[in-house]
């Protein structure tokens, strides 16, 4: 009887051990395997050869960063630092004088285009005036005098060809000048007499600032036309004991706030590539 019980216990033990081993084998089979992290991503079609090599080497992060950099270069093309130099002649007052304006300024300017975006400039010119205001008993004569302006523009069309520009700018101007006030009539109604006075050689100077918006378009070869609308104000000016200057060379009338400019430009390229070459042309 004891032998039968011992045999039964041995069989039961062997069956239990076999079940445990099968459960362990099944658990090992369902355990997930960690996927490989060395998968090489396929580069997009048309990718540069250097970027493809980065993909093949497994450096996908660096390849994608380079792709973003190249795409930004296409959107924001990198022009030469010294793109071009434009020489201008401001002749807007010559046209307005034909419609009765009594003063004029003529200037020549030099504008340096950097990266087709930032444009420092300088303008030198002369101005004069002569007017007898309506209902006034005097004549104002502003002698020919020089003026100078310095400033800069910002080209909003920096992604386009330099031949076409839409810009905003600021200017700082200065002029020193002389003027006469002639034929001043002073009436004395009590005595019925009058006096005629002449104020000669009055001198003054002025410092002013300008904010402007402009448009420049190519008309033929290296020639362009430019239009500007200016808002300006006087910082300070020298007053005379006998009155205030009516006209300031390069500025206009002392109380004026708005002005208009028209200029003819000749542009000198400072780089062989005036604007970036397209990818199709480079491949050819």
This prediction's pTM:
0.71
Burial status of residue 38 (CB atoms within 10 A of its CB: 0-12, 13-18, 19 or more): exposed
Residue 30 in this model has a pLDDT that exceeds 50:
no
Question: Does 224 score more than 80 pLDDT?
Answer: yes
- Rounded to an integer, the average pLDDT of 102-121 is 96
Q: Which CATH number fits domain 84-274: 3.10.50.40, 2.40.160.20, 3.40.190.10, 3.40.1360.10?
A: 2.40.160.20
pLDDT tens digit string along 125-163? 999 999 998 877 889 999 999 999 999 999 999 988 899
Is the model's pLDDT at 7 over the cut of 70? Answer: no
pLDDT of 226 above 90: yes
Cα distance between residue 117 and residue 98, in whole Å: 36
d(CA 59, CA 250): 61
Higher pLDDT, 169 or 35: 169
Distance CA 184, CA 137 (A): 6
10/32: higher pLDDT: 10
> Could you tell me if 43 and 52 are in contact, meaning their C-beta atoms sit under 8 angstroms apart?
yes
Contact 251, 173 (CB under 8 A): yes
Task: Assign 276 a pLDDT band (cuts: 50, 70, 90).
Answer: low
pLDDT digits (tens, 9 = 90+) for 42-52: 555 556 666 66
Separation between Cα atoms, residue 66 and residue 5, nearest integer Å: 79
Where does the pLDDT of residue 76 fall: very low under 50, low under 70, confident under 90, or very high at 90 and above?
Answer: low
Residue 257 predicted with pLDDT over 60? yes
Q: Which two tokens stand for residue 170?
A: 């600021």
- Domain boundaries in the chain? 1-25, 31-75, 84-274
Cα–Cα separations (whole angstroms), residue 275 to 32, 81, 116, 225, 263? 57, 11, 9, 20, 23
């Amino acid at each position: 009887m004891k032998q039968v019980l011992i045999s039964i216990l041995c069989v039961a033990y062997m069956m239990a051990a076999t079940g445990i081993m099968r459960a362990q084998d099944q658990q090992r089979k369902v355990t997930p395997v960690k996927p490989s992290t060395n998968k090489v991503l396929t580069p997009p079609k048309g990718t540069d050869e250097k970027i493809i090599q980065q993909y093949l080497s497994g450096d996908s992060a660096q390849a994608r960063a380079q792709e973003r950099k190249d795409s930004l270069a296409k959107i924001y093309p990198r022009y030469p630092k010294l793109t071009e130099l434009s020489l201008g002649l401001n002749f807007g007052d010559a046209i307005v004088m034909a419609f009765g304006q009594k003063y004029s300024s003529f200037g020549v300017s030099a504008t340096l285009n950097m990266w087709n975006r930032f444009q420092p400039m300088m303008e030198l010119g002369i101005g004069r005036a002569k007017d007898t205001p309506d209902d006034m008993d005097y004549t104002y004569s502003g002698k020919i005098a020089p003026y100078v302006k310095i400033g800069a523009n910002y080209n909003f069309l920096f992604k386009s060809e330099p031949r076409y520009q839409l810009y905003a700018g600021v200017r700082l101007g200065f002029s020193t000048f002389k003027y006469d006030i002639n034929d001043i009539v002073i009436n004395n109604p009590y005595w019925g007499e009058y006096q005629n006075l002449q104020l000669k050689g009055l001198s003054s100077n002025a410092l002013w600032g300008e904010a402007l918006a402009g448009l420049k378009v190519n008309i033929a070869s290296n020639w362009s036309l430019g239009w500007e609308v200016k808002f300006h104000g006087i910082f300070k000016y020298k007053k005379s004991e006998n009155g205030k200057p009516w006209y300031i060379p390069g500025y206009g009338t002392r109380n004026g706030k708005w002005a208009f400019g028209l200029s003819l430009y000749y542009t000198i390229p400072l780089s062989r590539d005036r604007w970036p070459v397209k990818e199709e042309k480079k491949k050819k």
